[in-house]
Amino acid sequence: MAPTKERNHPSFVIRYNKEILLFDCGEGTQRQLKYAKLSSNKITKIFISHWHGDHVLGLPGLLQTLAANDYNGELMIFGPETTGERVKKLLEIFPFEREFNMIIKEIKEDGTIYENDDYFVVARELQHSIKCYGFEFVEKARINLDKQKLKKFNLKEGPHLQKLKNGESIKVNGKTITPEDVGIFIEGKKIGYIADTTICDNTYLIAKDADILISESTFDADLEEKARKRLHLTCKDAALIASQANAKKLVLFHFSQRYDDVSSLLENAKGIFPKTVAAYDFMKLRF
């Protein structure tokens, strides 16, 4: 809930192609972006898990900075119901001139909340003291065309190749050519984000087959009773979810301020799910 000397409030980004997707926006996020050498002007979407202060207090400052930096994109903000009214109130409390377009998308039920040709984002409701959602970022499967196979069918550059990449069959000289004939299918990657919650069915769905699972881990295993009372997870909970849901890698974050050293949480989690790491500010993960 409170930052420490070593750890800032919750926020992480996914860099995908030329855009930045921001998940939660704790106090100090825009300053952290500068340290990480990430341009806030490349943020296209902000996903708010819930409206507790440690996850959103950086939002008004970030919006003001975007306006001052002549942000010329179309910013989409996703969050629980009431997000539209809450953002409106923030803009009233902190007035500034804003010329860029901002679209608010309120999440009213579980399911896909955004989709384009390359990926989609799923929201799933968690169990916390207020309405809270976790998210799945899922890259769509793609087709890489094999040059040798293209040569075999005498296929050269042109719009027909794009159709094959899109998964469509084409006809050439009366012969149907399918994507399977000339391409190699590559499965997309999945990132799961479990925000503040106690254990529930949706924690397992978010974690299912995730290449990277980012999960809150507020308490060590010996504080299970406190975790249940406050509707949070222990490091053991997060590890069990990752293990049972067949996740490939677990990243623990959202540690209580009581822990100056999180090595105990990490070791307890690794005892259940070895492929676990503890998040630290400016950690980078590539896949």
pLDDT at 153: 82
- In this structure, the answer to whether residues 170 and 91 fall within a common structural domain is no
Supply the range of the domain harboring residue 149: 143-184
Spatial CB neighbours of 57, under 8 Å, sequence gap ≥ 6: 9, 25, 26, 27
Give the sign of the dihedral formed by CA 48, CA 127, CA 257, CA 272. Answer: negative
Paired tokens of 9: 């409030």
| pLDDT recorded at residue 168 | 82
Q: Same domain, yes or no, for 205 and 169?
A: no
Together in a domain, 209 and 256: yes
Total number of domains constituting the chain: 2
Q: 287 lies in a domain? A: no
Q: How far is CA 193 from CA 135, 145, 248, 271, in A?
A: 5, 32, 14, 22
Q: Which residues are catalytic?
A: 54
The alpha carbon of residue 29 and the mean position of all alpha carbons in its chain are separated, in whole angstroms, by 15
pLDDT tens by residue, the chain, 287 residues: 889 999 999 999 999 999 999 999 999 999 999 999 999 999 999 999 999 999 999 999 999 999 999 999 999 999 999 999 999 999 999 999 999 999 999 999 999 999 998 999 999 999 999 999 999 999 998 888 888 888 888 887 778 888 887 778 888 878 888 888 888 888 899 999 999 999 999 999 999 999 999 999 999 999 999 999 999 999 999 999 999 999 999 999 999 999 999 999 999 999 999 999 999 999 999 87
- 229 and 252 share one domain: yes
Structure tokens at 152: 């075999």
Question: Cα separations (Å) of 169 from 14, 142, 152, 162, 164?
Answer: 33, 15, 16, 10, 6
Q: What is the pLDDT of residue 245?
A: 98
| Residue 224 CB-half CA count within 13 A | 7
In a domain, 1, yes or no: no
pLDDT per position as a tens digit, 248-272: 999 999 999 999 999 999 999 999 9
The pLDDT assigned to 129 comes to 97
CA distance 118 to 16: 9
CATH number at residue 73: 3.60.15.10
Does any domain span residue 283?
A: no
Confirm whether 286 is domain-assigned: no
Over its C-alpha atoms, the chain yields an Rg (Å, rounded) of 21
